[in-house]
Amino acid sequence: MTSLPPAWRTDGDLAAARQHFGARIPGWTEPAAYGVARVDDDGLVFGHVNRPGGSHRLPAVVLATVCRHASGTATYALTAGRLRKAVDLLAPAEAAVHWEHPNLWSWRELLGVGGERIDRFLAFFVADIGEPPVDEHDAAFRERLRD
């Protein structure tokens, strides 16, 4: 497999990056919905919520790479370091200026709260919206899908 360019400027570059990451996850299946939240003392603070039918598929496979997620519905605990790894892996997509990058932007925002040391994050993957939530965090994420 060929290596990726340092910046992904075109739709072809983005598709190649999605294929690159997906090919490295045995059994990879795109989720119906996914997202990230910071765990604060007052509850969950969500970044961009990717609803069913959304167009941002590359961040899903990048996040799955960091979480080691292949398929199904699951919630994963993430450290700030692992979320930063997802940001670093996705950052070349910003070169595609004809797209907005709400996942990348919101993940950075979640990481950069007022210089505080926040180290508790959750990643959410939902395979089928019709299935019941797997835990209370997934239930909170599903509520965001209804907003």
How far is Cα of residue 125 from the mean position of the Cα atoms in its chain? 8
Nearest Cα neighbor of 88 from 62, 70, 56, 112 is 62
Q: What is the pLDDT of residue 2?
A: 60
Mean pLDDT across the stretch 68-84? Answer: 96
Sorted by where each begins, the domain ranges of the chain are 31-146
pLDDT at 3 over 90: no
- Is pTM beyond 0.85? Reply is yes
Q: What share of the chain in percent tops pLDDT 70? A: 95
Return d(Cα 48, Cα 28) in angstroms, integer.
Answer: 22
The 8-class DSSP code of residue 25 comes to: S
How far is Cα of residue 24 from the mean position of the Cα atoms in its chain? 16
pLDDT at 115 over 60: no
Return d(Cα 33, Cα 29) in angstroms, integer.
Answer: 12
pLDDT at 126 over 90: yes
Mean pLDDT across the stretch 43-54? Answer: 94
Q: Does domain 31-146 have CATH number 3.30.70.2010?
A: yes
pLDDT at 117 over 70: no
Q: What is the pLDDT of residue 118?
A: 75
Q: What is the pLDDT of residue 5?
A: 82
pLDDT at 112 over 90: no
Least confident of 49-58, 99-108, 113-122: 113-122
Comparing 48 with 1, the larger pLDDT belongs to: 48
Residue 88 half-sphere exposure toward CB, CA atoms < 13 A: 7
pLDDT tier, 41 (very low <50, low <70, confident <90, very high otherwise): confident
pLDDT at 1 over 60: no
